[in-house]
Amino acid sequence: MDEEGDGVDPAIARRRMVAQVAKNSFIQNVIPFFIELKQLLDSKNSPLIGCLMECLRVLLKDCKNEIEDILVADKQLQKELIYDMQKYEAANMKATVSEAINNMQRSKSYVSPLQGRGSSISRLAHNPQVCSNLVKQLGSA
């Protein structure tokens, strides 16, 4: 009785199909307005372009694989969005690593198994300069 014949519950298959239709409708009906708005803001040299790009990045984060198909008419916007998404992900990764390092340094209970042996690894892990350099290198990757 299932529609796809692969053992998927019909209710789940129906939900997936509705979600896909909603996503396609969003792409076809809303994204063109954002593209036109970006072009208008570009022509006026508006400072709101950054906010619009952030909004587009958030809206299209679930459509990363389809961005090239969605923005086939505007290659420049396509490149900008892909770049912004990569930059945002790198910044998030850098912040996560930095936070983890800071938490490790602040933690009194953290003790490296090698610390008691006078290990150079342990000394490096607690050296703020080394940790800072690590964060910088991870951020530029």
C-alpha 49/C-alpha 38 separation (Å) is 7
C-alpha 141/C-alpha 136 separation (Å) is 9
**Residue-level pLDDT at 44:** 93
Report the interhelical angle of 31-43 vs 49-60 (nearest 10°).
160
Query: Token pair for residue 64?
Result: 């990363």
Supply the pTM of this predicted model: 0.50
Rg (CA), the chain: 23
**Residue-level pLDDT at 114:** 53
Q: What is the pLDDT along the chain (141 residues), one digit of tens a residue?
A: 444 456 678 889 999 999 888 888 887 788 888 888 888 988 999 999 888 888 888 887 777 777 777 777 778 877 877 787 788 788 888 888 888 888 877 765 555 555 555 555 556 566 677 667 766 766 665
Largest Cα span, the chain: 67
Alpha-carbon dihedral 81, 136, 100, 89, rounded to 10 degrees: 10
By the 8 A CB rule, do 12 and 4 touch?
no
C-alpha 65/C-alpha 136 separation (Å) is 29
Query: Token pair for residue 114?
Result: 């090698």
Alpha-carbon dihedral 131, 133, 136, 139, rounded to 10 degrees: -60
Phi, psi of 72 (to 5 degrees): -60, -30
Report the interhelical angle of 75-106 vs 49-60 (nearest 10°).
80
